[in-house]
Structures are given as structure tokens and as C-alpha cells.
Amino acid sequence: MIAAPSFAAIQAARERIAGSIRRTPVLSSDFLDQEVGAKLFFKCENLQVSGAFKARGAFSAVLNLPAALAARGVVTHSSGNHGAALALAARSRGIAAYVVAPRTTPASKQQNMRRYGAQLQLCEPTLAARQAAADEIIAATGATLIHPFDNADVMAGQGTVALELLEQVPDLDAILCPIGGGGLISGAAVAAHGVNAGIRILGAEPAGADDAWRSRSAGVITPVAQPASLADGLLATIAASTFEVIRTQVQAVGTVSEAQLVAAMRRVWEELKIIIEASSAVPVAALLNGSLPVAGLRVGVVLTGGNVDLQRLPWKQD
Amino acid sequence: MIAAPSFAAIQAARERIAGSIRRTPVLSSDFLDQEVGAKLFFKCENLQVSGAFKARGAFSAVLNLPAALAARGVVTHSSGNHGAALALAARSRGIAAYVVAPRTTPASKQQNMRRYGAQLQLCEPTLAARQAAADEIIAATGATLIHPFDNADVMAGQGTVALELLEQVPDLDAILCPIGGGGLISGAAVAAHGVNAGIRILGAEPAGADDAWRSRSAGVITPVAQPASLADGLLATIAASTFEVIRTQVQAVGTVSEAQLVAAMRRVWEELKIIIEASSAVPVAALLNGSLPVAGLRVGVVLTGGNVDLQRLPWKQD
């Protein structure tokens, strides 16, 4: 079974990826601070290479492959930010990146992965078809599967964002991340607790894909039958590896409605002047709807990505 | 007559405003570099307090007022970013900021100025009405007029962006700014040449408000009769003070069509994941349309502001 990375593994990942990723800026807004009643530090991973924090995990994994294995390429079945990030990381090593994506993947996302060099293979939008397509590629090429979150090197890479943030803002009381498969929040929890055992780790999910919230309540992984949300990066179900960290090292998980996440997305665009995607707005929405215990705290908020179709905004034009 | 600030005055402005403004990040994009054929460093003044570089000039001027004068407040007739920035700077000193704005000013801009504490006075949208309203306020209150660009302290403040950028990226070959009234480019030219006499200063304007381009060609200030552009921050006519610098220290001015600036705005949103307003897209459009001599150079591009009405984007939604 895959286990979450150690603090040392996250430190090693940070050294490995240092030359490949950006030290992203931290922004703030007095207006948002006043509204939430906390001091917020937004870690702008939407400004990361590939437009999302996923570059951290992808480079961490790709750069850790032995040369002989790497030469056969890497494969994944994320059609979103992990797919693009993996393609970018693979290109930096001059190796192939095969991405299995459902044929329903929006054209803009397909194009984005292709321009980073991904070799796309479209399949029927079912778990079985996806798995079969990935297996076929692995059998034919010997490529290594780099899972978007259930992979210790990927989690370690994602965790580096917390190390960096705690250097930029050392005296944080809490770090808040969205939860999809849980790779980010588990890496960040291990990393942050390695620096400061007392720091609180908070999560946020859309109400329509609240498997982490349900799993914490039930004490066992509890998938949502039909996860649905505009936050398309947060639809995955947590894995055993990430749940173990979410269960033991995360203090609270807030949930938000679709209307709340759209309003939060727009507020961030307006106040911070940056493009964040719907998934990144979920933690902000959880701060604004009061579902997280942050009053008076200094909170680092990871804004995870900025890959948005600018012709399909989730609010009306006048 | 007002003269452009000296290099020493810009250095002094920088010390004065250091505690009030942000050191904004510098972003880059391999895709944009490839398309332009130059190495571009985007100085993100859209992430500046108040959402625009105008905070530099406003704080520079407001913090330089003697206490007795400051106590009577400040006044201006910019309805855009300078108005909001002046209100913010005034509030930091606990003094009044009166802003005369045409009654046609969009509600979103009025609201933005008010939330920074501006006392708005609406007038008819004519130069005469604006001047009369400002004169009346000055007569009644003794407030000091802080002109948006024809003011040495304001120009000095705007120039600090070039000092900061040249610390962040020391080996630039050129710095590119949009030109409205010319306060930014003249401050930046004096500042940059104070650091490196050989650096090239480039400007950009919308074709519908190309008074700087015309004035350079004619050798004398040549206003555009009816300036018109989506780049509403660039409609002002340059002043004698700014023209003197534009004439002698600026190497080239590129012009762009409305379609080009809209396309450039969208490209920046997509590639850099930041919100820039139409005025900020003009230099990027000039890079993309080939109207500036930048091939192979390292070019600093000042992205001036990010105040956009998100319900009125200049491109269609699907």
C-alpha cells in the first residue's frame, strides 16, 4: 500500500524540483480579511508553471524516476491540471507523456495538454475504459503510471508548497487547501507539521463532492456516488494514503455550495486581480460562508490553479 | 512650468512610499516569449495596492505634502485608477480626498473609489465642468490638487516602478510602458536612465488615442480631437512636462488597434493567469503586432492595472 511521504521525503522533493518550478507570490487583501475576520495569505499556485500546483507533484515524480524507467515515458489518466503538468515535466526530461482522457474533455483542456507535449489518448468516459486504455499503453511502452495523488512522490511534491509558504509567512496559525483526491492537503499537512507541529490544517470541498467530509464523519472512506461540481478538479475520491493523513492531521473540512464557490471565484478575481479556477475558489468560499474555525487567525490559503476557459465564465455578462 | 523629476527625486519618492506600497512580482511566459521573439518580464502593477501603479504616484504626492497643507485634503479629477489610489493614500494620512468625476463614470468605478474613502463629486462630462467643480472644492476647502500626471511628485512615484523592476531583473535591455498622460513613462525613463544610461524606453498607445506618437512625429504636442479606446486609462493628452521626456528619452512608440488590444488582454489572462485591464494590454498588443523593435531583447513590460468590470468583458461568452 502507498503511504504518505515523510517530512524528509518532502524536503528531498523540494530540492529535486527547485530548478523546475516557480516560487509563487503570496498576495493579500484588506477587504477579504475584513470580511472573513482573519488575516489571509493567498499562495498563488495559479501562477505556477503549467498554471497549477500540480507541477510540483509531477516534477517530483518524473525527476525521481531512474533513467532506464524514465526513458519509457510516463502515463496518467488525469484530463486536467495533472495531465498538463506531467506533460511539462516529461518534456523537461525529454521523455514521452501519455495522457488518457475521456472524449468528453473540453477542447480547451485537450489543447492545453497538447501544447505541453502530451500524447493524448481519448477514451469512453468510464473508469473501466480509462483503466483499460492506461493498461494498454503501459503494456505497449513500459511507461510508468504517475497517479495524480495516490503516489508518494506526487504527494511529496505537492507538500513543498507548504514549506515554501511557511518560509514566506513563517507565523501562520493555519493552512487551508481544497480537497480532491487529497494529495495536496496530505503533502501540505506532513510538510507543515514537520516545520511547526502546532499548525492547523484545514480543508474545503464542494458540497457535491464532499467525500473527505463524509469519510471523516464515518471514519472510513465514503465515496460520493455521483460527485458533481463546477470545481472539476475536486471530483476525485480520496485514497487510503491520503485519507490516513486527512483523518489524523486535518482539523476541519468546510463545505460550500455551487453558488458560494462561484461568488468566491469572482471575489478573488476582483480583489486579488488574478485568475483562479473554480476548484481554487472552494477554500475561499468556505472562509466566506463561515464553515471553518478561523476567527482572528493568520491563515495561508493555497490557490491551486488558474486554468479557466475564458469564454465560459460561471457568471453572466451584462 | 512643471518639470519631470530628477533621478534623486525618484529615489526619494521610493523611500517615502516604501511602507505603503507592494513590491509587485515579475511574471513570465515561455509561450509569449516565443511568439514575440523576445524575453519578456511582466511587472505586475495590477497586483499593486488599489489595483494599479497609480498608488505609487498618489502616495508619493500625498506623503510629500506639508502637514498644514495636507490637513485640508487633496482633490483630483481622475475618475479611474488615480482617483482610487489618491483616496487610499489620503486615507493613510487621515485626510480627505475629493474626486471630481463625470456623471457618466461607470457605477463599478464610482463604488471602487468610494470604498477607498473618496468623496465623489459628479459633474457634467466636459472639461469645463470638471475644472469648475475642482476649483469650487479648492476654494471651499483649501485642498491641494494632485494632477494624475502633470505633477513632479506623481511622476517621481510612478518612476519607482522602474527602480524596483531593475532590482528584480537587473539586465534588461528595454522597459515598455503604455502612454496616457505620460506620467508613468516619463518617471520610468528618468529612473531607468539613472540606473543604466543605455536602457531603451519604449511606449505604446491605442491607435485611437495616439497623441504621443503624433506629437513625436510633429515635434510638438498634438492632441487627438476625440480620443477613443477601450483602454480608458490612456485617453488623456500628454503634458509639456511629460512630452519633454517622451521626446528625448523614449526610443519608440508602438500603436495598436482595438481588436489587437482585446486579443492581447485575453492572451495575458490566459497565459499569466492575472487580470489586466484594457489599458495594460496595449504594450502587450504592441509587442504582438510587431510595431516595436524588440527582437532578441530582454524587455520589462509594466502591466499597469487590473481594475476591470467582470460583467462587461470585451470578448464574447459561448
Contact A266 B310 (CB under 8 A): yes
A108 pLDDT tier (thresholds 50, 70, 90):
confident
* Nearest C-alpha neighbor of A265 from the set A223, A219, A307, A222: A307
Contact B310 A310 (CB under 8 A): no
Q: What pLDDT was estimated at residue B124? A: 92
Chain B residues inside the 8 Å CB shell of A267: none
Q: Which residues contact A242 (CB under 8 A, 6 or more apart)?
A: A4, A149, A150, A155, A181, A182, A183, A185, A186
Exposed, middle or buried, A220 (CB in 10 Å: 0-12/13-18/19+)?
A: exposed
Residue spans of alpha helices (H) in A18-98: 30-36, 54-62, 67-70, 81-93
The arithmetic mean of pLDDT across residues A95-115, rounded, is 90
Using CB atoms, pick whichever of A269, A273, A276 lies closest to residue B47. A273
Average the pLDDT over each of A108-112, A161-165, B157-161, B252-256 and give the range with the smallest value: A108-112
**pTM flag (> 0.90):** yes
B80 pLDDT tier (thresholds 50, 70, 90):
confident
Contact B310 A315 (CB under 8 A): yes
Q: Give the three cell numbers for residue A294.
A: 478561523
Chain B residues inside the 8 Å CB shell of A55: none
Average the pLDDT over each of A108-122, A173-187, A301-315 and give the range with the smallest value: A108-122
Q: What pLDDT was estimated at residue B278? A: 97
- How far does CA A102 lie from the centroid of its chain? 20
pLDDT digit string, tens, across residues B259-279? 999 999 999 999 999 999 999
- Sign (positive/negative) of CA torsion A46, A50, A56, A58? positive
Mutate to test the interface with A, among B21, B81, B273 (most CBs of A within 10 A): B273
Q: Give the three cell numbers for residue B45.
A: 502593477
A308 SS3 class: coil
DSSP state letter for B238: P
pLDDT, mean over chain A: 96
Which strands make up the sheet holding A144-145, listed edge to edge?
A119-123, A97-102, A74-76, A144-145
Return d(Cα A130, Cα A123) in angstroms, integer. Answer: 6
Whether B225 and B175 have beta carbons less than 8 Å apart is answered as no
pLDDT at B203 over 90: yes
Beta strands (DSSP E) in chain B are: 26-27, 39-44, 74-76, 97-102, 119-123, 144-145, 174-178, 200-206, 252-256, 298-303
Return d(Cα A199, Cα B254) in angstroms, integer. Answer: 52
Residue spans of alpha helices (H) in B142-182: 152-168
Chain B residues inside the 8 Å CB shell of A47: 25, 27, 272-274
Chain A residues inside the 8 Å CB shell of B51: 273
pLDDT at B125 over 90: no
Contact A318 B312 (CB under 8 A): yes
Q: Give the three cell numbers for residue B64.
A: 510629500
Return d(Cα A195, Cα A200) in angstroms, integer. Answer: 12
Q: What pLDDT was estimated at residue B106? A: 79
Name the residue in chain B with its Cα closest to that of A22.
B27
ipTM of this predicted structure: 0.95
Closest Cα in chain A, distance from residue B167 (Å): 17
pLDDT, mean over chain B: 96
Q: Is B199 on the interface with A (CB under 8 A)?
A: no
Q: Is A51 on the interface with B (CB under 8 A)?
A: yes
Average the pLDDT over each of A201-215, B97-111, B195-209 and give the range with the smallest value: B97-111
Q: Is B113 on the interface with A (CB under 8 A)?
A: no
The arithmetic mean of pLDDT across residues A173-190, rounded, is 98
Return d(Cα B278, Cα A308) in angstroms, integer. Answer: 19
Return d(Cα A293, Cα A254) in angstroms, integer. Answer: 9
Chain A residues inside the 8 Å CB shell of B269: 275, 310
* Nearest C-alpha neighbor of B252 from the set B194, B190, B174: B174
Using CB atoms, pick whichever of A115, A272, A317 lies closest to residue B313. A317
End-to-end Cα spacing for chain A: 52
Closest Cα in chain B, distance from residue A112 (Å): 11
Place of cell 478561523: A294
Q: Is B47 on the interface with A (CB under 8 A)?
A: yes
Q: What pLDDT was estimated at residue A107? A: 82
- How far does CA B253 lie from the centroid of its chain? 16
Q: What pLDDT was estimated at residue B181? A: 97
Q: What pLDDT was estimated at residue B78? A: 82
Q: What pLDDT was estimated at residue A48? A: 98
Return d(Cα A298, Cα B270) in angstroms, integer. Answer: 31
pLDDT at A20 over 80: yes
Whether A227 and A209 have beta carbons less than 8 Å apart is answered as yes
Closest Cα in chain A, distance from residue B142 (Å): 31
B171 pLDDT tier (thresholds 50, 70, 90):
very high
B148 SS3 class: coil
The angle, 0 to 180 degrees and rounded to 10, between the axes of the packed helices B152-168 and B54-62 is 130
Return d(Cα B253, Cα B243) in angstroms, integer. Answer: 13
* Nearest C-alpha neighbor of B284 from the set B183, B170, B181, B178: B178
Using CB atoms, pick whichever of B47, B309, B311 lies closest to residue A27. B47
Chain A residues inside the 8 Å CB shell of B306: 273
Average the pLDDT over each of A166-175, A237-246, B41-50, B121-130 and give the range with the smallest value: B121-130
User: Which phi-psi region, left, alpha or beta, contains residue B73 (left: φ > 0; alpha: ψ -120 to 50)?
Assistant: left
Mutate to test the interface with B, among A41, A48, A273 (most CBs of B within 10 A): A273
pLDDT digit string, tens, across residues A240-288? 999 999 999 999 999 999 999 999 999 999 999 999 999 999 999 999 9
pLDDT at A79 over 80: no
Name the residue in chain A with its Cα closest to that of B31.
A115
Q: Is A313 on the interface with B (CB under 8 A)?
A: yes
Q: What pLDDT was estimated at residue A49? A: 97
Using CB atoms, pick whichever of B115, B273, B317 lies closest to residue A311. B317
pLDDT digit string, tens, across residues B280-305? 999 999 999 999 999 999 999 999 99
Neighbours of A127 (CB within 10 A): 10
Q: Is A7 on the interface with B (CB under 8 A)?
A: no
The arithmetic mean of pLDDT across residues B88-109, rounded, is 92
